[in-house]
Structure 1
Amino acid sequence: MTFKRNHISKTPHNDSNVTVQHMVHFVTTKLIHMKKILIICSVAWLMVGLSACNKQFDPLLNNPNYPSPSTADVDLYLNAVQLNFVNFFEGVSTYGAQLSRQQFWGGPQYSNAYQPATFDGIWTTAYTGVLSNANSLIPLAEAQQKYIQAGIAKVLKAYTICTLVDVFGDVPYSEANLGDANTNPHVDASATIYANGLALLDSAIADFNKTGAVKVPSDLFYNGSASKWITLANTLKLKYYMQTRLVDNTVPAKIQALMTTNNLINSASQDFAFQYGKNLASPDSRNPHYGNNYVNSGGPGDYLSNYFMWKVTAQKYNGSVTLLNSPASTVGDPRARFYFYRQVLNSASFTQTTVPCAYLPNPPAWYPSVPDQTPFCYVGKGYFGRDFGDNSGSSPDGNFRTTWGIYPAGGEFDQNQAASVTLGMGSGGNGISPIWLSSYTYFLEAEAALTLGITVNGTPDQLLAQGINASISKVINFPTAIGYNIPSNYMPTTTQVSNYVNSVLTNYAAANTAGKLDIIESEYYIALWGNGVEPYNNIRRTGSPKDVQIAVATPTPGFFMRSFFYPSVFVNRNQNAPAQKTPGVAANKVFWDNNPDNFIK
């Protein structure tokens, strides 16, 4: 900018002060105008500059710690779905195992053994962990042609929603996980949710069959094998059809079709199980049953179920505990030393202070009855746990408690060490969650063959034998699979295995139809060690095992819990939640359970 000379007035010399003042005013005014112009120009140039680099700055406006669904990583989503799914399974498994006597339940009344808040964890894990992440993952994966990831999410979602029905009954589904759009979802009818679960499995199978699927780097179960996921989806369909066979007369044809096609889990290589590690912290990757019990002081944190240990070690042998100590012993369940680890081999070290129940009359007068020589307090030969419904409180018996063995918790194999448990003992916790194994399929098929006459894959006794053999094979080969060596003289021989199977088949041949079903379900029950979801379903559907131990603290524990209470986080926060279930009411049944009220003790 230039100043024109004629803008300055010519004045007489004797008026110099006025002239100077005028010039100062003039220059100041011009400088102010210049400053305004410069500011305007600077702002204009800044706006132009920002506009020019807008594309570079925009991505930085998104917080990387809170990515939007459209930019989220499908495989990280899948990791979250899978890990939350395992936590959900373990939570439901624990309560199902307690009620089915596979694990210890303190009771003594069914109506007050649990509170609604007890189930908050599994509810929250299901809805905010599994379902929410799966719902976000599926459309994103399909848009990116990551069909296997989408299929995996659909399978795990189907299992989760059907299991929620199995344990709670009617639950939110169609209105669930909508965020601000619906913060008070209504429940859906259980049968409708089951239908949606089966549709999800069919949709998953379609995804797995699509070509051009992107590789899966984060499959924690089947290493990205679409064919194995298809087999699992078909097997879960068989499971859900069998669970509804009492209330749906259309399922026998569907079961027959699945069994005829026979793309079901029928070998250990197809087993649906989650593999844990040995890491102690940050994160603790060990099997939770190992982490709760293999500690440096105080002994195991859990009591095992006396009834379940008796069922494995003594029930078939007139109540006398029988072990496979070596090849010289030919009678006993080959899985016993793999399932349970004993800290003592007998009761010689018990005292009235440490194990007071051992000094009561056996059984005490108030113990209602002892079906089939069910034990009281102590099974024998070091197998010491807790009876069903014993709420007498803990005594200082930590050094005597039998605990989880090498299978499935990754604990210690019992070779008569009689040593106290310690941190890191055994295989360090690298066990599994056995969600669905090949033996389970054979037992379901045996049930279908017996009750529905569907024998396309074998007769009931043949399928029963296959189930037992598959279970024993899984268990006795498990240590090798996780890198744990067992002395050869403790490995069950072919003769020992066949002797056990033949003893079961002999009993089966001599039983009536009801007795045959009970034998199938009892062997299924034994094979399910580490999975409490299926025993809880099976006992409500079939009433077996029929020799379950009754509550020891009272002859009147009330009606068996046919479903869980609704969680407090649901009924207390949702205006549209159903009324809480009334404790002790027999009608708290899920839709596929049409058995009598007093069907289960």
Structure 2
Amino acid sequence: MKNIKIKKTILFLFTLAIVSVSCDDFLDVNDNPNSPPISTPSLTLPVALSDFTDLNARTMTYLGNQLVVNWATPSNWSANSIYMRYDFSADDFSNVFETSYVSIFKNLTYIETYEDPTGAVDYSNYKAISKIVKGFQYQLLVDLYGDIPYTEANLRGDNPTPAYDDAETVYKSVIADLDAAVALINNGDNAEDPGSQDIIFGGHMEDWIEFANSIKLRMLVRMSNTGQDSYISGEIASIIANGGGFIHTHAATNPGYSSDESKQSPFYDYFVQPNGAQQNRQDYTVASEYTLEWLTNANDPRMDRLYKAAANGGFKGAVQSTVLPGTGFTSEDLSKVGPGLLVSADQDQIVMSMAEALFVQAEATVRGYLPGGDAAAQDLYEAAIEASFIQLGVEDAENEAEAYYNQPIKNVSWSNSPNKIEAIITQKWVALNGTSSIESWIDLTRTGFPLGLPIPEESNGQRPLGLLYPSSERSRNSNNVPSQSAGDVFTKAPFWR
């Protein structure tokens, strides 16, 4: 399995500095993005992709890991109590909504609507990338909030109070936009090559087609409980027909990350300072007792890549609770985020892993949306586990993965797992630990798997199903934001559930 090295011919800090200066006026919310005073798609694209990556690498991943009980907090820290009580408010995680609209979508919409005044440059590839990234982020917003602005969104000064669209309508519109993005690429014979300005695939547009197809398949599989098999099958047939396939390596960002100040890979930077010292977050983010026990019972060699041994040796986790024993559970007694996740300051930042894409294909095959039946689903399932072992840097990964999934253990071995969907989602939960764990929370809401994840005693006994619209949005767009109470995060399920 090959790893594509993203081109690093641009100087990261220099590029971001140029773009941030060039886009100062454009980023003013009062400007019309369809006629910005400064900037071009080539300057705006790396900023949009960086903002998109940073949000998903930090807030989204941290939130996901807490909600699916991968991480806990030691008793000598008061941080993170929100994850134990589940008392989410309209001010919590507001950057998920706000950064998406105020920054990511704004820049991507500018790229989509930009017309070269000279008529000499065809920016179709840039427009296609924008549609694909917007599709990825819109999917997450629907999954976490439900109805969101879509058809009237991103017009800024022309419409600062956009209407909210029905969640299912947004999903299907995004799916159509992903098809349109693939068509733009396939028909863009004379389109400008984004090259190193594309900090995810380095201008390799065939990889963007694979990414678009992978996002679309994930959305369609997520709709499997809606009774729309005819629609789902038809849309999957269109994926197969475009011939682009699915991602064959990680979709990962790297504009030239390094150990220099403000240039570290975003997830790594969340935990490690540029001088190598740990951030406080690394001290108050430790392994959960539940997940360590699960990995131990499964004889999973990924454990010492997902977590590092405690200072006094061995692996030890904490329960998710604000009421813990005062001794034996401090940060020095517990396992922290491991070396397979915190590799180096210049590590690629994964947006969608190869393992995730393969697990989605495995589920689609089990559900009959992709051909091949049980044998093909098993091959995809085992390939996904192997991809996870490789990603985490397990020594002799291929052989270790084979030995692991051949154990006669439920939700490890394919043949010993009577519920194949449960096995897929459970192993996906392990593989997405520390990477795209927001997907594991969404999968848990959708399927109920993995079974048995504990709920903190301080909560109301229910795990949240989503997030509340930010108070800032309710203030500025009060006539359109759907009515919502704090309890809705526990009772209002996404449309696809």
Give TM-score scaled by structure 1 length. 0.67
The 2-side partners of 1:528 and 1:192 are apart by 28
Aligned to 1:550: 455
8 Å contact 2:466–2:489 — kept in the other structure? no
Query: Which residues of structure 2 form unaligned runs of 5+?
Result: 1-21, 27-34, 74-79
Does 155-164 or 447-456 show the bigger shift?
447-456
Per the alignment, in what secondary structure is the counterpart of residue 477 of structure 2? coil
Q: Closer, same or farther in 2 for the Cα pair 1:572/1:151, shift >3 Å?
A: same
Residue of 185, 210, 221 corresponding to 1:242: 221
Q: Closer, same or farther in 2 for the Cα pair 1:118/1:240, shift >3 Å?
A: same
Structure 1 residue 122: Cα displacement? 1.6
Aligned to 1:537: 442
Structure 1 residue 130: Cα displacement? 0.9
Indicate yes or no: 2:74 matched with 1:170.
no
The 2-side partners of 1:334 and 1:64 are apart by 47
8 Å contact 1:313–1:333 — kept in the other structure? yes
Residue of 465, 468, 482 corresponding to 1:562: 465
The 2-side partners of 1:175 and 1:585 are apart by 25
Indicate yes or no: 2:347 matched with 1:431.
yes
Match of 2:365, as an amino acid?
Answer: A
Structure 1 residue 531: Cα displacement? 1.1
Match of 1:73, as an amino acid?
Answer: T
Residue of 187, 195, 202 corresponding to 2:172: 195
Aligned to 1:517: 421
Per the alignment, in what secondary structure is the counterpart of residue 396 of structure 2? coil
8 Å contact 2:49–2:199 — kept in the other structure? yes
The 1-side partners of 2:185 and 2:366 are apart by 33
Give deviations 1:451-507, integer Å, cap 9, x for gaps. 337443743322211211122123227xxxxxxxxxxxxx23654332112115874
Give deviations 1:107-156, integer Å, cap 9, x for gaps. 67887532211122122210011111111111215763022111111111
Aligned to 2:193: 215
Q: Number of paired residues?
A: 444
Indicate yes or no: 2:128 matched with 1:160.
no
Q: Closer, same or farther in 2 for the Cα pair 1:535/1:464, shift >3 Å?
A: same
Indicate yes or no: 2:332 matched with 1:399.
yes
Match of 2:152, as an amino acid?
Answer: E
Q: Closer, same or farther in 2 for the Cα pair 1:286/1:524, shift >3 Å?
A: same
Residue of 297, 304, 314 corresponding to 2:286: 304
After superposition, residues 317-328 of structure 1 pair within 5 angstroms as none
8 Å contact 1:442–1:463 — kept in the other structure? yes
Q: Closer, same or farther in 2 for the Cα pair 1:221/1:394, shift >3 Å?
A: farther
Give deviations 1:405-462, integer Å, cap 9, x for gaps. 232332xxxxxxxxxxxxxxxx3x2234322122212212222222337443743322
Match of 2:463, as an amino acid?
Answer: F
Per the alignment, in what secondary structure is the counterpart of residue 76 of structure 1? helix
Aligned to 1:264: 245
Aligned to 2:271: 292
The 1-side partners of 2:278 and 2:377 are apart by 48
Indicate yes or no: 2:382 matched with 1:449.
no
Structure 1 residue 204: Cα displacement? 1.2
Give deviations 1:45-86, integer Å, cap 9, x for gaps. xxxxxxxxxxxxxxxxxx996366264221111122111111
The 2-side partners of 1:297 and 1:97 are apart by 19
Give deviations 1:242-287, integer Å, cap 9, x for gaps. 111111222134335536877333533xx20123723342x24233
Structure 1 residue 558: Cα displacement? 3.3
Aligned to 1:338: 305
Per the alignment, in what secondary structure is the counterpart of residue 72 of structure 2? coil
8 Å contact 1:312–1:526 — kept in the other structure? no
Aligned to 2:96: 122
Per the alignment, in what secondary structure is the counterpart of residue 301 of structure 1? helix
The 2-side partners of 1:400 and 1:293 are apart by 19
Structure 1 residue 288: Cα displacement? 3.1
8 Å contact 2:25–2:37 — kept in the other structure? no
Does 562-571 or 259-268 show the bigger shift?
259-268
Structure 1 residue 174: Cα displacement? 1.7
Residue of 219, 233, 236 corresponding to 1:255: 236
Indicate yes or no: 2:384 matched with 1:467.
yes
Structure 1 residue 312: Cα displacement? 5.8
8 Å contact 1:264–1:441 — kept in the other structure? no
**Identity percentage of aligned residues:** 19
The 2-side partners of 1:301 and 1:94 are apart by 14
For the aligned residue pairs, the C-alpha RMSD in angstroms reads 3.0
Match of 1:97, as an amino acid?
Answer: N
8 Å contact 1:92–1:532 — kept in the other structure? yes
Per the alignment, in what secondary structure is the counterpart of residue 575 of structure 1? coil
Q: Closer, same or farther in 2 for the Cα pair 1:176/1:506, shift >3 Å?
A: closer
Indicate yes or no: 2:40 matched with 1:73.
yes
8 Å contact 1:81–1:134 — kept in the other structure? yes
Per the alignment, in what secondary structure is the counterpart of residue 452 of structure 1? coil
Aligned to 1:103: 71
8 Å contact 2:41–2:111 — kept in the other structure? yes
8 Å contact 1:115–1:565 — kept in the other structure? yes
Q: Closer, same or farther in 2 for the Cα pair 1:493/1:436, shift >3 Å?
A: closer
The 1-side partners of 2:330 and 2:85 are apart by 28
Query: Which residues of structure 1 form unaligned runs of 5+?
Result: 1-62, 317-331, 347-380, 411-426, 478-490, 594-601
Match of 2:68, as an amino acid?
Answer: S
Match of 2:192, as an amino acid?
Answer: V
Indicate yes or no: 2:55 matched with 1:88.
yes
Aligned to 1:528: 432
What stretches of structure 1 move > 6 A for 4+ residues in a row? 108-111, 393-396
Structure 1 residue 311: Cα displacement? 5.5
The 1-side partners of 2:25 and 2:470 are apart by 29
Give TM-score scaled by structure 2 length. 0.80
The 1-side partners of 2:235 and 2:403 are apart by 36
The 2-side partners of 1:341 and 1:64 are apart by 42
After superposition, residues 18-97 of structure 1 pair within 5 angstroms as 66=25, 69=36, 71-90=38-57, 91-97=59-65
The 1-side partners of 2:326 and 2:185 are apart by 51
Q: Closer, same or farther in 2 for the Cα pair 1:571/1:400, shift >3 Å?
A: same
Q: Closer, same or farther in 2 for the Cα pair 1:227/1:196, shift >3 Å?
A: same
The 2-side partners of 1:241 and 1:154 are apart by 17
Structure 1 residue 221: Cα displacement? 0.6
Greater relative CO (CA pairs within 8 A, separation 6+): 2
Per the alignment, in what secondary structure is the counterpart of residue 434 of structure 1? strand
Per the alignment, in what secondary structure is the counterpart of residue 314 of structure 1? helix
8 Å contact 2:233–2:369 — kept in the other structure? no
8 Å contact 2:81–2:322 — kept in the other structure? yes
The 1-side partners of 2:469 and 2:243 are apart by 37
